[in-house]
């Protein structure tokens, strides 16, 4: 797409944002007005419509932010993205509360909006991994993980001397061994040509040699096969020719058939060939039609358009970076010019603003308000109108006079004041306890009222707190760009930068730079005015002039202490211990699975809904919202620790690696079986926590992995694992790892558990309040995997019955199925596909015979469901919801029985 196309898309996107914001406002009115919505399916559709619109807008905003070459518009788009991200979290939580389940289905709302589920799949944003980490930190990570030691401390002269002596000793020892080996070979009469073995090759050169040898081996194999095929064909041809000549000369050759019989045979062959070609043309035409309709998957596909598109996007990012550098250069020049020419005028304007504020106070109430402290922002608060207004001062003055008169009439002792404060605290606690009891009673009454369908008040929607930030970000953009966003915009609106905005921003920057200087001058001037005012009051006979309310002095923000250990050294220490480690590059596309397309309709049935289990594709959607969006957001309501629970082989670790890859995060492995022998002792353990906290913040985005988190919180440690002390970190994990994470940190804690019922639920819930239960492999996901695996082979029947195979293999993990199919379709079997088509039984047997395969039965998975209901708050809400549905159905059946 060109710059004009992206600009047109942006203008259309602005209209979509306005429409979605209006619909969200109407949803907010229902929430604020406590208007109940029923039935449940209607509430889901109302909230899901807004959620789906925001998901589509979010994806388009990320695309515009990534590819738009107008550098001055991008910061405003980023603010809109951040605000919409926080709103998406709230809407997702509202959907979960309405459906009483963490997996939500918006299919009915998508039908109304004429959208498909792929339209609302959250796109993994480009700007998450590449705009957070500093270049210096990225360099340290790349170098150390590549095997280069840059974090080691600078050696002292004595250490250098010791290393040199050690190196010389090793060289002398190697030389002596080589000489002894040569003498031995000479004595035994062996050849001494060993020049090649003395050449030391680097690991990279050895790998290149291995790949070259493997390539040459494949080439030689193909050449041998081709020569063999050619020689067999020639030998067979010569043999047939010699045999035919021999039979002819010996008179043993059979006479040819009569002409009529040969004609009949030719006609029969022609008829069969014509029928065969007709069937072949029909099948080819049918396959082309099915291919266009997406009913079958061809074995050959053209070069991926996605790769070409990514190359184009990368080129646009290069151009955007060039524009950004030019804009920075122009901004620096303009700032210098404005400061040189307008410094005095700007300082006078700021002084006039503050003096006008002082005049207003003096003319109205004959005093001066407190000047804001520098830590608050100084006179910026005066300009924004965030200081004490004159009307507020008059009200405060009246209340203060009443309080002073009351205190003057009956002065209180220190004990009385202390007792009053204690009583106030006790009263506050009492009111909080009463409010808690009242809220619990309200919830109980609400649950009881929902048991009867006639008195059911409906579902109340959660009030959103992030909608205001969406409006603020949108208004901020409109105020700056409304006059520029026109249909016939000039080139500087489409790409590059606008010079007028550079000048305006220069004035703002210079004002912010000069304002603290002017504030210091005006504080001195205010002190002179106050002294003069005090003299005037004394001359008028007022010994104690009125004062404004004292401002509470904010705490000074202490600058962070410099690290005693440089970041490279800390990172090198964790890498050496194996706590920070490399991980296989995996994307969410590698986590194969399909979503549940029938769940929305089955859950929307009135009175008797059914709740089918979630599918693997539903997990991917939840991972994108809870994990990938959380990594890039600054939302206070984002949960930064997730527990992935599921049977062995369900893909928990694959998901962890995919999240880390999508966000370009470093992986810190604090698994019990990884750190049991690292940093022994309480003091060293504290050092490890300090290193982990510092590195995770310096080099964010960061994923902290706790594999087998159930072992970290064991109820009772098994005897065979006591030597590893798996609960070593459980006591301090929350305080040392989770608690220091702030809302603006790009840090995510991911735990995995295969036997969660062995852990202490309260202790584990404190660290992992959010849980994602991975389902057992389902029919739809296995069909999806088998189709994509088998149809890549040219000889495969396009109509292969994957559905019966998927039904037979339900419960086997996807990895077992993939490895079983790969072992079945070896080179020989692929070559036989043309004349011996693949049978579904072969696929089933290959998976069943695969060693190390994992099967999870229905009864086995029930253990996970029961644990989830007891652990997660969604389990309790699901049970309450089922009880409510059962009660409503009972009332309904009784009412129908009375009518009959």
CA angle 154, 156, 158 (to 5 degrees): 150
Poorest-pLDDT segment among 31-40, 149-158, 728-737, 802-811: 149-158
Rounded to a whole number of angstroms, the CA Rg of the chain reads 38
Query: Which segment of 250-254, 624-628, 805-809 scores lowest on mean pLDDT?
Result: 250-254
Look at residue 410 in the predicted model and tell me its pLDDT.
61
Confidence of residue 195 (pLDDT cuts 50, 70, 90): very low
Q: What is the mean pLDDT of residues 396-410?
A: 72
Q: What is the pLDDT of residues 109-126, one digit of tens each?
A: 888 888 888 888 887 665
- Is pLDDT of 815 > 50? yes
**Residue 198 clears pLDDT 70, i.e. is over it:** no
Q: Are 871 and 756 in contact (CB under 8 A)?
A: yes
The pLDDT assigned to 126 comes to 57
Residue 294 has pLDDT above 90, yes or no: no
Neighbour count for residue 882 (Cβ, 10 Å): 13
Residue whose tokens read 């010699």 = 242
User: What confidence score (pLDDT) does residue 490 get?
Assistant: 79
Do residues 733 and 712 lie in contact, with contact meaning Cβ atoms separated by under 8 Å? yes
pLDDT of residue 371: 82
- Per DSSP, the three-state class of 585 is coil
Give 581's strand partners: 667
Listed range (15-29, 40-54, 149-163, 379-393) with the worst mean pLDDT: 149-163
Evaluate if residue 13 carries a pLDDT over 60.
yes
Q: Cα 643–647–648 angle (5° rounding)? A: 105
What is the residue-averaged pLDDT of the chain?
Answer: 83
Question: Stretch 306-329: mean pLDDT, rounded?
Answer: 82
Tokens of 481: 């760009």
Q: What is the pLDDT of residues 649-690, one digit of tens each?
A: 888 888 899 888 888 888 998 888 888 888 888 888 888 888
Per-residue confidence band for 192, with pLDDT thresholds at 50, 70 and 90? low
pLDDT in tens, 438-447: 888 888 887 8
| Residue range 69-94, pLDDT digits in tens | 888 888 888 888 888 888 888 888 88
d(CA 702, CA 747): 5
Residue range 764-782: mean pLDDT, rounded: 87
Unique residue bearing structure tokens 């060939």: 273
pLDDT band at 416 (very low <50, low <70, confident <90, very high): confident
Report the C-alpha gap between 19 and 54 in whole angstroms: 10
Q: CA separation (Å) from 94 to 35, 122, 187, 771?
A: 15, 18, 86, 17
Query: Which of the four pLDDT bands, split at 50, 70 and 90, describes residue 196?
Result: very low
Q: What is the dihedral of CA 821, 822, 824, 830, to 10 degrees?
A: 110
pLDDT, tens only, 330-352: 888 888 888 888 888 888 888 88
Q: How confident is the model at residue 131 (pLDDT cuts 50, 70, 90)?
A: low
> Distance between CA atoms of 244 and 52, rounded to whole angstroms?
77
Residue 129 has pLDDT above 60, yes or no: no
pLDDT digits (tens, 9 = 90+) for 538-594: 887 777 777 777 777 777 777 767 767 888 888 888 888 888 888 888 888 888 777
Counting residues of the chain whose pLDDT is more than 70, the rounded percentage is: 95
**Distance between CA atoms of residues 201 and 207, nearest Å:** 10
Q: How far apart are CA 140 and CA 270, in angstroms?
A: 74
Q: Tokens standing for 900?
A: 């009959």
For residue 762, pLDDT beyond 70 = yes
Q: What is the arrangement of strands in the sheet containing 641-645, beginning at the earlier edge strand?
A: 580-581, 666-669, 702-706, 747-753, 641-645, 770-773
Residue 197 is predicted with a pLDDT of 47
The residue-averaged pLDDT of 226-246 equals 92
pLDDT in the model for residue 764: 87
Instruction: Tell if the pTM clears 0.85, that is, is over it.
Output: no
Q: Of 312-321, 410-419, 512-521, 886-895, which gets the smallest average pLDDT?
A: 410-419
Average pLDDT over residues 499-514: 86
- Alpha helix (H) residue ranges in 540-665: 567-576, 599-603, 616-623, 629-632, 652-662
């Amino acid at each position: 797409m060109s710059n004009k196309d992206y600009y047109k898309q942006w203008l259309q996107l602005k209209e979509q944002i306005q429409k979605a914001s209006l619909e969200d406002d109407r949803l907010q009115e229902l929430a604020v007005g406590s208007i109940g919505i029923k039935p449940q399916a209607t509430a889901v559709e109302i909230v899901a419509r807004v959620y789906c619109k925001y998901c589509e807008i979010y994806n388009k905003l990320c695309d515009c932010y990534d590819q738009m070459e107008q550098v001055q518009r991008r910061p405003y788009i980023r603010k809109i993205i951040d605000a919409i991200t926080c709103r998406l979290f709230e809407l997702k939580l509202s959907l979960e509360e309405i459906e009483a389940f963490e997996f939500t289905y918006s299919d009915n709302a998508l039908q109304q909006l004429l959208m498909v589920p792929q339209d609302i799949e959250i796109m993994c944003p480009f700007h998450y991994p590449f705009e957070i980490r500093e270049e210096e930190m990225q360099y340290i990570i790349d170098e150390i993980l590549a095997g280069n030691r840059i974090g080691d401390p600078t050696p002292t002269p004595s250490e250098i001397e010791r290393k040199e002596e050690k190196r010389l000793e090793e060289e002398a020892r190697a030389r002596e061994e080589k000489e002894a080996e040569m003498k031995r070979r000479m004595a035994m009469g062996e050849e001494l040509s060993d020049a090649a073995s003395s050449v030391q090759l680097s690991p990279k050169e050895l790998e290149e040699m291995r790949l070259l040898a493997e390539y040459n081996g494949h080439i030689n194999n193909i050449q041998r096969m081709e020569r063999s095929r050619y020689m067999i064909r020639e030998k067979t041809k010569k043999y047939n020719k010699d045999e035919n000549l021999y039979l002819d000369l010996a008179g043993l050759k059979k006479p040819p058939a009569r002409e009529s019989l040969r004609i009949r045979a030719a006609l029969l062959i022609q008829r069969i060939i014509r029928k065969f070609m007709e069937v072949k043309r029909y099948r080819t035409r049918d396959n082309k039609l099915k291919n266009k309709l997406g009913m079958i998957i061809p074995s050959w596909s053209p070069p991926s358009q996605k790769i070409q598109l990514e190359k184009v996007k990368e080129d646009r990012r290069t151009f955007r970076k060039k524009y950004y550098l030019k804009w920075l250069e122009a901004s620096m020049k303009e700032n210098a010019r404005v400061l040189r020419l307008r410094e005095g005028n700007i300082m006078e304007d700021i002084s006039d603003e503050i003096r006008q504020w002082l005049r207003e106070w003096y003319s109205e109430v004959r005093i001066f308000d407190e000047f804001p402290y520098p830590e608050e922002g100084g006179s910026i608060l005066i300009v924004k109108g965030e200081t004490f207004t004159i009307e507020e001062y008059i009200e405060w003055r009246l209340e203060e006079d009443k309080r002073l008169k009351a205190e003057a009439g009956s002065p209180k002792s220190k004990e009385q004041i202390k007792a009053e404060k204690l009583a106030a605290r006790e009263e506050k606690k009492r009111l909080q306890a009463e409010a808690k009891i009242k809220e619990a009673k309200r919830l109980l009454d609400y649950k009881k009222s929902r048991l009867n369908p006639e008195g059911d008040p409906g579902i109340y929607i959660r009030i959103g707190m992030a909608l205001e930030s969406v409006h603020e970000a949108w208004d901020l953009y409109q105020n700056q760009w409304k006059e520029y966003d026109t249909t016939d915009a000039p080139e500087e609106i489409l790409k590059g930068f606008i010079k007028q905005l550079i000048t305006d921003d220069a004035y703002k920057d210079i004002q912010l730079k000069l304002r603290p200087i002017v504030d210091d001058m005006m504080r001195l001037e205010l002190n002179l005015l106050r002294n003069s005012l005090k003299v005037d009051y004394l001359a008028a006979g007022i010994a104690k002039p009125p004062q404004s309310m004292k401002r509470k002095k904010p705490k000074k923000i202490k600058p962070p202490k410099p690290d005693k250990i440089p970041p490279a050294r800390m990172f090198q220490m964790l890498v050496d211990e194996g706590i920070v480690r490399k991980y296989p590059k995996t994307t969410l596309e590698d986590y194969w699975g399909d979503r549940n397309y029938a769940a929305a309709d089955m859950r929307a049935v009135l009175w008797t809904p059914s709740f089918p289990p979630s599918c693997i594709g539903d997990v991917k959607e939840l991972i994108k919202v809870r994990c990938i969006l959380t990594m890039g957001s600054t939302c206070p309501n984002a949960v930064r620790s997730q527990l992935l629970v599921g049977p062995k082989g369900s893909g928990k670790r694959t998901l962890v690696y995919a999240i880390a890859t999508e966000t370009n995060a470093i992986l810190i492995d604090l698994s019990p079986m990884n750190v049991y022998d690292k940093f022994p002792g309480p003091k060293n353990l504290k050092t490890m926590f300090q290193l982990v906290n510092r590195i995770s913040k310096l080099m964010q985005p960061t994923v902290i992995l706790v594999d087998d988190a159930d072992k970290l919180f064991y109820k009772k440690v098994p005897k065979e694992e006591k030597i590893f002390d798996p609960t070593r970190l459980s006591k301090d994990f929350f305080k040392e790892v989770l608690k220091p994470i702030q809302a603006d940190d790009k840090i995510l804690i991911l735990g995995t558990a295969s036997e969660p019922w062995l852990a202490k639920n309260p202790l584990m819930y404190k660290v992992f309040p959010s849980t994602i239960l991975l389902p057992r492999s389902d029919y739809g996901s296995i069909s999806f995997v088998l189709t994509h695996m088998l149809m890549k082979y040219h000889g495969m029947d396009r109509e292969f019955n994957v559905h019966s195979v998927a039904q037979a293999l339900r419960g086997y993990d996807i990895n077992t199925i993939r490895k079983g199919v790969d072992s079945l379709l070896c080179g020989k079997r692929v070559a036989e596909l043309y004349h011996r088509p693949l049978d579904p039984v072969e696929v089933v047997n290959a998976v069943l015979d695969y060693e190390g395969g994992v099967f999870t039965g229905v009864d086995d998975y029930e253990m996970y469901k029961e644990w989830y209901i007891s652990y997660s708050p969604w389990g309790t809400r699901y049970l309450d919801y089922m009880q409510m549905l059962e009660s409503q159905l009972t009332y309904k059946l009784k009412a129908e029985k009375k009518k009959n």
